[in-house]
Amino acid sequence: MIEQKWWHNSVVYQIYPRSFNDTTGTGVGDLRGIIEKLSYLETLGIDVIWLSPVYESPNDDNGYDISDYQNIMAEFGTMVDMDELIVTAKNHGIQIVMDLVVNHTSDEHPWFIEARKSKENSYHDYYVWAPNNGQIPNEMTSTFSGSAWEYNQPTDEYYLHLFSKKQPDLNFDNPKLRQEIYDMMNYWIDKGIGGFRMDVIDLIGKVPEKMIKENGPKLHDYLQEMHVKTFGAHDLLTVGETWGATPEIAKLYSDPKRNELSMVFQFEHMSVDKIPGKRKWDLAPVNFILLKQILAKWQTELGEQGWNSLFWNNHDLPRVVSRFGNDSEAYRIVSAKMLATILHCQKGTPYIYQGEEIGMTNMPFATMDDYRDIEAINMHQERLALGYSEQEILRSLAAKSRDNARTPMQWDETQYAGFSTVEPWIGVNPNFKTINVEASLNDENSIFNHYRQLIALRKAMPVFTYGEFTLLAEQSETIFAYTRTYQQEKLYVLANFTAETVCYEDVNLSCGEILLSNYTDSKIKTQMNLRPYEALVILIKA
């Protein structure tokens, strides 16, 4: 039996502050806006907020390019607001998990301003350099298109940037740099935060000479050192963003015996709607059987040697109801509840991305001018140059752009969805009059209330947290079904992933009792006709 931790049955809510709630009339969200909505989050029942970066930043990548780790971005407020957020959240039973972006800084960080001046500068070795041999050092590419190397004239060298040019990569092989990072982390720990979400942590052991980005040879040594020097003595939640993790690799990060992180946040199930081997922009229909296989693999393979995050969305991903559900008027609500059910009844720590709990959808951006994200803008340029048509590019962006998740939170039906009193930094989804928090709170059958009930069940019954997972009907093209078993408790989770009625049969359902369903009149039978997107959480009595 795995040693129980507070974050095993916690539910995390991710806030992208720029788009959450603007109290200052700037069109950009802020920290006081979060404080204002803590009661709302307490009603939902979440335990933890993962706060996307709020540090000082020139915003080339919306705060993921940090120029001062110990100051707050002026648009978002002040350190006084931040301290108040940490304390007030605690009074609502909510911990704040800070986004730790230490694979890179901004090029406007004082370390980089110094580092690029000369090879002798004491900060030079804080970053990753390659000599100028008359051509770019190698073929490594940036996630945001083009080469990962940028020329630096004063030293006649190239620096590495696995993201934008304004996000130079830090050199973790330098012990002085590592100590600076640990001091900074301890500064935040001393403020009473609940932990860290570690941005692209699998890249910190990179070996650019060998073209190694993810999972470099020293990665786990660095994490073990970080554990000892920072959060190890505190009971915090630490979650690593690990794009390149397999279940075996996930155990290296999250086996409690190894003293690294609490859990991984891995993306394998996010690859089921692209052409295999290609980029996310190369669209393919959702491979449902593969989706089930991947999710089931992560449920069964970690055993007691690891812990996983459960998520459908974040600030980098499209809205799940548009992606794996059905965002038409007829099926949006029922399919959003179905997706929530399938996810929240699994083993792991569930994450809800702001707006997911009210079933926010992808954004119908009309032209390139509507996009704000550097990834989207660079990809557009890159693909135009490669000969893709504007239409094709816009189709990929409509499905996968990160801006889908970054439109303002829809609070009510007033102008700008109650997010701001002025025009926001990015367009508001035109569906805010029907899809908003106020309407959800007033409707007992809302998606919001379904999430609330799922969270309440997780808190009430340990089987949701610790139950052993078994996938059923593996080859079904329409049904997602599984059981969870823990001591005397057994759950049977059953969902129709389609807009058709589907017949499902299992004699074991005869002694079941419905704990939750997304239709008000669901009934259990050994032979069931599951209606479009119908999903049930069933308790099987011994």
Q: Are strands 95-100 and 55-56 parallel, antiparallel or unpaired?
A: unpaired
- What secondary structure letter does DSSP report for 436? S
Instruction: Using alpha carbons, list the distances in angstroms from residue 84 to 80, 91, 258.
Output: 6, 11, 34
Q: How far is the CB of 316 from ligand TEU (least distance, A)?
A: 3
Strands of the sheet with 512-517, listed across from one edge: 468-472, 479-486, 489-496, 535-540, 512-517
Binding mask 209-248 for ligand TEU (x = CB under 6 A): --------------------------------x-x-----
Q: Is beta strand 195-198 parallel, antiparallel or unpaired with respect to 157-160?
A: unpaired
Examine residue 316 and tell whether it contacts ligand TEU (CB under 6 A): yes
Q: Quick one: how far is CA 378 from the chain centroid?
A: 22
Joined together, the tokens standing for residue 355 give: 């707006």
The answer to the question of residue 101 lying near ligand TEU (CB under 6 A) is yes
Nearer to ligand TEU, 6 or 243 (CB): 243
- Closer residue to ligand TEU (CB): 48 or 201: 201
Least Cα distance to 320 among 285, 350, 296, 355 occurs for 355
Residue 199 lies near ligand TEU (rule: CB under 6 A): yes
101/310 with CB nearer ligand TEU? 101
Site map 7..46 versus ligand TEU, x via CB under 6 A: ----------------------------------------
**Beta carbon of residue 347, minimum distance to ligand TEU (angstroms, whole number):** 24
Among 241, 316, 356, 357, the one annotated catalytic: 241
Distance in Å, CB of 241 to ligand TEU, minimum:
6
Q: Is 318 exposed, middle or buried (0-12, 13-18, 19+ CB in 10 A)?
A: buried
Indicate the residue type of 203.
L
Q: What's the distance, CA 102 to chain centroid?
A: 17
CB of 108 to ligand TEU, least distance (A): 15
Please tell me the distance from the alpha carbon of residue 266 to that of residue 243, in angstroms, as a whole number: 5
- Give how many residues touch ligand TEU by CB under 6 A: 14
Give the total residue count for the chain: 542
What pairing do the DSSP bridges indicate for beta strands 48-51 and 95-100? parallel
164 vs 341, beta carbon nearer ligand TEU = 164
Instruction: Give whole-number Cα distances, 268 to 225, 241, 250, in Å.
Output: 27, 12, 12
Report if residue 69 touches ligand TEU, rule: CB under 6 A: no
Q: How far is the CB of 127 from ligand TEU (least distance, A)?
A: 15
Structure tokens at 356: 């997911």
Residue 396 or 483 having the CB closest to ligand TEU:
396
Closest by CA to 361, choosing from 320, 409, 411, is 320
Q: Shortest Cβ distance from residue 200 to ligand TEU (Å)?
A: 5
Alpha carbon of residue 420 to chain centroid? 24
| Euclidean distance between CA atoms 267 and 298, whole angstroms | 11
Rounded CA-CA distance 540/481 in Å is: 14
- Say how far apart CA 471 and CA 510 lie, in whole Å: 19
Pick from 124, 165, 372, 402: which binds ligand TEU (CB under 6 A)?
402
For the bound state, the minimum distance from the C-beta of residue 331 to ligand TEU, rounded and expressed in Å, comes to 27
Cα angle value 318/250/207 (rounded, 5°):
90
- Residue 241: active-site member: yes
Structure tokens at 252: 């290296």
- Residue 355: phi, psi to the nearest 5? 95, -20
Looking up tokens 């069940």, which residue turns up?
Answer: 457
Report, in Å, the least distance between residue 378 CB and ligand TEU.
Answer: 11
For position 143 contacting ligand TEU by CB under 6 A, the verdict is: yes
Maximum alpha-carbon separation in the chain: 75
Nearest to ligand TEU of 40, 243 (CB atom):
243
Q: Which is nearer to ligand TEU, 199 or 327 (CB)?
A: 199
Among 30, 56, 61, 327, binds ligand TEU (CB under 6 A): 61
We find the least distance from the C-beta atom of residue 291 to ligand TEU, in angstroms, to be 18
423 is catalytic: no
CB closer to ligand TEU, 101 vs 160 = 101
- What the block records as the tokens of 110 is 């004082």
Nearer to ligand TEU, 241 or 268 (CB): 241
Single out the catalytic residue among 199, 316, 327, 375.
Answer: 199
Q: Looking only at residues 344 through 383 of this chain, which bind ligand TEU when binding is defined by CB under 6 A?
A: 375
Instruction: Point out which residues bind ligand TEU (CB under 6 A).
Output: 61, 64, 101, 143, 163, 199-200, 241, 243, 280, 315-316, 375, 402
Query: Which residues are designated catalytic?
Result: 199, 241
